[in-house]
């Protein structure tokens, strides 16, 4: 996944701080506030379970924040919708290694962002869905699907449909360096929450113009039972930037893993498009 490093980072042992990115108005008229973070370590991935050390307030807002913090600066990692009738701030608090930082939302005009587009060049975020019956979503709020079910050590399949408008490079700016020459969009997978390690067969999928509006898949293996949330981050050739808040899309997949690492289990290949109710 993309990250933005800062000078004087240490490999490990430092902290993470929340960042408020701004607010945007949804198509239904509601307002969402977007948050990201900065992990000051250049190598260490930090994990802070949701609870007293990783909380959103007031309690009436969805606890949509990550528990896993990749190295570097990660803008627009999630957003939450302001509860109807609520006029106060939304606070995100992180505490680790004796340091606590709380950051509030701000609905001032200077904090309004173009998370859903269109930008001045008409660019909009990639549209993502997990099944033909889903409505495609876009922007940092994204959608949550699942749960999928799997076993320790057995592949779980994720299938994602993506559409992009192809306008990410309309101004002829610098392309996202992760993308090949003909690619128009990238989708990266990472662990957002969960107790164990997750290894993806292909953590990054790319779409070109010829396969725009199509489905691609990868699999992941989990080494520990429990509940997980996987982040699928879709971005066009403009990439992601802390300065501009368009154009990328967050999507999330909930997964429940059973079994133990020392028990042989058959392969489980449940597509996100094959959501179960077990």
Cα gap 151→256, rounded to integer Å:
8
- pLDDT above 70 covers a percentage of the chain that reads 82
Element housing 125 (H / E): none
Q: Residue 104: pLDDT above 90?
A: yes
Q: Residue 142: pLDDT above 90?
A: no
Q: Tell me what the mean pLDDT of segment 4-21 comes to.
A: 84
Helices (H), the chain: none
Cα gap 16→73, rounded to integer Å:
9
pLDDT attached to residue 263: 45
Tell me the β-bridge partners of 22: 34
C-beta neighbour count of 110 within 10 angstroms: 6
* Cβ–Cβ < 8 Å for 79, 33: yes
Which among 142, 235, 112, 218 has a CA at the least distance from the CA of 184? Answer: 235
Q: Quick one: 52 exposed, middle or buried, by C-beta within 10 A (0-12, 13-18, 19+)?
A: exposed
* Cβ–Cβ < 8 Å for 30, 81: yes
Q: Kindly report the average pLDDT of the chain as a whole number.
A: 85
Q: Residue 180: pLDDT above 70?
A: no
234-267 pLDDT tens trace:
988 775 554 567 788 999 999 999 986 554 444 4
pLDDT attached to residue 212: 84
The residue assigned the tokens 């289990």 is: 265
Q: How far is CA 67 from the centre of its chain?
A: 12
Cα distances from 67 to residues 86, 98, 192, in angstroms, run 26, 17, 6
pTM for this structure? Answer: 0.86
93 pLDDT band, cuts 50/70/90, is: very high
Cα gap 60→63, rounded to integer Å:
9
CATH of domain 127-274: 2.60.40.10
Q: Coil, strand or helix: which one is 215?
A: strand
Token pair listed for 102: 């709380």
């Amino acid at each position: 996944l993309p990250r933005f490093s800062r000078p004087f980072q240490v490999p490990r042992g430092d902290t993470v701080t929340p960042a408020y990115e701004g607010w945007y108005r949804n198509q239904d008229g509601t307002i969402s506030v977007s948050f990201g973070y900065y992990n000051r370590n250049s190598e260490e991935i930090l994990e802070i379970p949701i609870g007293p050390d990783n909380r959103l307030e007031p309690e009436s807002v969805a606890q949509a924040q990550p528990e896993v913090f990749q190295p570097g600066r990660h803008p627009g990692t999630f957003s939450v919708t302001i509860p109807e009738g609520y006029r106060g701030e939304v606070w995100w608090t992180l505490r680790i290694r004796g340091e606590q930082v709380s950051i509030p939302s701000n609905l001032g005009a200077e904090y309004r962002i173009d998370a859903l587009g269109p930008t001045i060049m008409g660019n909009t975020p990639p549209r993502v869905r997990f099944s033909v019956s889903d409505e495609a979503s876009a922007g940092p709020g994204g959608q949550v699907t699942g749960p999928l079910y799997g076993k320790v050590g057995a592949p779980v399949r994720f299938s994602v449909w993506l559409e992009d408008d192809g306008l990410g490079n309309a101004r002829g700016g610098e392309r996202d360096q992760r993308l090949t020459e003909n690619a128009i969009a990238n989708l990266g997978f990472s662990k957002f929450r969960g107790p164990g390690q997750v290894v993806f067969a292909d953590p990054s999928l790319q779409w070109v113009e010829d396969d725009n509006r199509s489905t691609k898949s990868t699999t992941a293996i989990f080494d520990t039972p429990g509940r997980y949330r996987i982040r699928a981050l879709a971005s066009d050739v403009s990439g992601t930037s802390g300065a501009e808040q368009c154009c990328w899309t967050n999507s999330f997949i909930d997964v429940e893993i059973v079994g133990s690492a020392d028990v042989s289990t058959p392969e489980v290949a449940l597509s996100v498009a094959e959501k179960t109710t077990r």
